[in-house]
Chain A
Amino acid sequence: MLIYVIRRLAQSAAAILILLTILFFVLNVLPGDAALLAGDLRMAKNEEVIENIRSKWGLDKPLHIRYLTYMGNLLKGDLGTSYRTSNKVIDLIIPKLLSTLKIVITAFIAAVIAGILLGFVAALYRGTLIDIILMIIAILGISMPRFWLGLMLMYYFAVIHNFLPASGTGGGSFLFIILPALTLSIPMIALIARTTRSSVLDEINHDHVRTARAKGLSNSTVNIKHIFRNSLLSIITIVGLQLGTIFANTVVVEKVFAWPGIGDLVVNSIFKRDIPAIQGCILVFALCFILINLFVDILYAFLDPRISYS
């Protein structure tokens, strides 16, 4: 198992290296000069100033030198300095990442609990009105764009009922987390519910479930030990994938709720062509995605003894 983990980590490191290299060159050849953008029209009217900024940021050096410098620093654990803020990129990212994690973790927990519960209920009551209603809601949940959903929730809860704050972080108050987390989690709930339902339905018809019932085991024992546990594998797969993409979805949600997280940071950095900050954010996204997937793969082995990585 350890060898498997090490091999996977090495593969991931190579993947990240390739990703960052492609990103570096793409970002540098894209139209849009960070030094020009550092000032607005007034300031940019002075070529000298722009040249000064360019040399301050090392943008006057040839591309391959910049790339080698970047990679060299990266290996030393230095993500560089943000053009936009003059802060170390790592210092910029950590507080934003923590801020994003607040909504991501809340959304994720809510999505897993609600999604599995609703999917399980729908499967147990398959074909009934409950099942139909739940699945219609699930389809709606998956189909709704997060941007629109966020605004609707904001309008309903903050503007009409003044029950929850519309935007911002409120200095860390939990009330402020609810709406962005809900926006992030609703499509996830829907997807997890649908997956759980079909996975549970698959299990219900298996022989071992029939045998368990024939043995006279209680309904709850059959449901939890024999149906739910066995259907977990496919649920975990979809949950893992969702957790990986949830970071990408924060970009939209953070913009709508003026939540200063890493998604918001990446958008602001792109607008200002702040290449070190963009690279840093993408590195974090990639690391999260890879580590979550690795964790899910390892989890498989524990859930299903048939899977072995040795």
Chain B
Amino acid sequence: MHRINRVNNPIFIISIIIMVMFSFSISVMAEESERYGGTLNYPLPYQQSITTLEPGQSSDVTQAIITKSIFSNLVRYNESSGEIEPDLAESWEISENGLVYTFHLREGVTFHNGEAFTAEDVQFTFERILDPEQASTAVATVKSIAGSEAYADGESDHLSGLKIIDDHTLKITLSELDVGFLNSMADELAAIMPKDYTEKVGNDFGMNPVGTGPFQFAEMNQDENVIIEAFEDYYNGRPYLDQIEFLVMTEASTRTASFRSGQLDIDLVSPAQYKVFKNDPQYKDQLIEVSEVWIRNVMFNMDNEKFQDKRVRQAFNYAIDRQLIVDKLLNGKAFAATGWLPPSNIAYNSQLEGYAFNPEKARSLMEAAGYTPENPLEIHIIGTTNPAWGIPIIEAAMPYLEDVGFEITSEVVDGATWSTRARQGDFEAFIFSLGGHASPVKQLATTFWSEIPRSAGNYGNYNNEEFDKYIKKAMNTVDLEQRIEYIQMAEKILVEDPGAWFFNYNKAVMIHKPWVHGITGNALEMTYQPFHKIWIDDSSPRK
């Protein structure tokens, strides 16, 4: 018999090598490739309640965390880059004058109930938003469409600026230039609803929502949880997760304990926990950080004569060592602010120096304005108990301020009281967190443009002609680069003639269990995660 020496056979050796390489590559793939299935337990951390899941009826972040997965918009924000990308509209064209938008809608998209998505649904949604009976929270998103006022006033039976060319083509004409129109279309409040289903269920829609998003609504227990399930026919492919359970958990310490015990897969980290997690070898690599679009500030009431003198406001900004407060009190969970546009904003100006800690300069400015530590300027500041942007910060800043000629008294109010007093101008100064807009024009104009009334966001009644001029220019400029230039000019003016104490830009921090993949840092709002891209691996207890 002829025996073959297998070990010396080159074919055998090569095949062994190939097998080893193949099995190795499989194991690598197994480690890295996405996996379908499982449940994600996700917290709803804010002191807000889920009252309805109809997009235009809710404007709380808590509702939006969920509705963003159930619904789609014409366009959407990419959660990582913040850029606008196609959603239900596959593509779009904007006329040269920036007034006409032609959207080409995706074909073959269905709602969760099987209804086909067409241009009629868009028209229906926008008209529903404008219907005064709905008292919709989304009016601002469609207000710039021509004929919106006539429709809202009942003078017209249709929204004249919205024309359906065919089932999948839509032409929207604006009544005036609105450079933030695509941002409005990406706003979760302007999410598209199914015409037939909504007409059938009416105002019960919010309890049984139907959209075209990656997940469909399954169950809601008010103030407890919401469960959504994967939508098999999502136009972009079925999401990885089978299910997401959103758990209402407003207490930070409860969330931390639930996260550590494995009941939650993700947690929004508070400043107190930030340091602990950062120094914990088990968790330090599971932290995702981003500079959010919120600015913590002390807003000055410009109608109050104490703030008429620019030097007083400048002195306030020079007087406080904001970096030290950020480092020591917020455990580094913030970025000291130089102006009003945070690093995540497309118009962020890295050259803007802002106000460095300079007590001597603050003192001389106060002296020039007629105040000294012996003859101080009394200022009453209201705020909530929030440790990152409430009265605790004022208490920390007090010694700095008193050192240069201010005498500070503070008053704790709850959010509801703050909201009313701020809009009525019933304050000398307040500390709060403002912003939340991706669009730089909106971010600046909403709070400081003199044409915005106090009740609508210009709480301090800030009025600077130069600032207004650049804001208007930015609003009327289609070219992005040029627009950014105008915005940065406006911000520079705002910093030089400060309407607020620019304290910090929030650093939002999220922590996740090692088995969760796909979490991203969303500057617009950290809790808005791309749930359709998130997956969990085998080590999850809820795989």
Contacts and interface: CB of A to CB of B under 8 A. Distances in A.
Given A41-B457, A260-B221, A31 B139 contact: no
Contacts of B260: 159
22 contacts: A31-B417, A32-B414, A42-B187, A43-B59, A44-B423, A45-B446, A45-B456, A85-B52, A85-B222, A86-B51, A154-B254, A154-B257, A159-B261, A162-B261, A165-B263, A166-B257, A167-B263, A168-B225, A168-B247, A258-B251, A268-B49, A272-B416
B268 to A, nearest CB: 14
Contacts of B137: 38-39, 42-43, 49
B455 A47 contact: yes
Interface of B: 47, 49, 51-52, 59-61, 132-133, 135-140, 143, 187, 189, 203, 206, 221-225, 247-251, 253-254, 257-258, 260-263, 413-417, 419-421, 423, 434, 436, 446, 452-453, 455-457
Contact of B416 (A37, A44, A45): A37
A87 B51 CA distance: 9
A53 B135 contact: yes
Interface in A79-104: 84-87, 92, 96
Given A84-B49, A255-B250, A167 B258 contact: yes
A45 B251 contact: no
Nearest to B137: A43
Interface in A245-304: 255-258, 260, 264-265, 268, 271-273
Nearest to B60: A40
Nearest to B247: A168
A85 B49 CA distance: 8
Interface string A94-134: 00100000000000000000000000000000000000000
Interface of A: 30-33, 36-49, 52-53, 56, 84-87, 92, 96, 151, 154-155, 158-159, 162, 165-169, 255-258, 260, 264-265, 268, 271-273
Nearest to A260: B224
A258 B49 contact: no
B135 A258 contact: no
Nearest to B225: A168
Contacts of A258: 224, 247-251, 254, 258
Contacts of A48: 132, 139
Nearest to B43: A258
Nearest to A148: B253
B488 to A, nearest CB: 23
A55 to B, nearest CB: 8
A41 B436 contact: yes
A151 B135 CA distance: 41
B223 A46 contact: no
Contacts of A151: 253-254, 257
B511 to A, nearest CB: 14
Contacts of B434: 41
A215 to B, nearest CB: 57
B311 to A, nearest CB: 30
A33 to B, nearest CB: 5
A26 to B, nearest CB: 14
A265 B247 CA distance: 15
Contacts of A273: 416
A275 to B, nearest CB: 11
Nearest to B434: A41
A37 B254 contact: no
A33 B223 contact: no
A264 B249 CA distance: 11
A203 B408 CA distance: 61
B421 A31 contact: yes
A272 B254 CA distance: 22
Given A56-B135, A258-B249, A162 B262 contact: yes
Contacts of B51: 84-86
Contact of A158 (B49, B140, B257, B421): B257
Contacts of B436: 40-42
Contacts of A154: 254, 257
A39 B455 CA distance: 13
Interface-central residue, B138, B413, B416, by most chain A CB under 10 Å:
B416
Given A31-B420, A32-B416, A47-B455, A168 B263 contact: yes
Contacts of A37: 415-416, 419
A30 to B, nearest CB: 8
Task: Give the residue among A30, A159, A265 with the most B Cβ atoms within 10 A.
Answer: A159
Contact of B257 (A46, A47, A159): A159
B436 to A, nearest CB: 7
A36 B419 contact: yes
Given A37-B415, A45-B455, A46-B456, 7 more contacts: A42-B436, A48-B139, A86-B203, A167-B258, A258-B247, A260-B222, A268-B223
A78 B29 CA distance: 61
A43 B140 contact: yes
Nearest to B203: A86
B249 A46 contact: no
A96 B221 CA distance: 10
Nearest to A163: B261
A92 B222 contact: yes
Shortest beta-carbon contacts, A-B, top 5: A32-B416, A52-B135, A260-B224, A45-B456, A43-B137
B423 A271 contact: no
A114 to B, nearest CB: 25
A271 B47 contact: yes
A177 to B, nearest CB: 14
A284 to B, nearest CB: 16
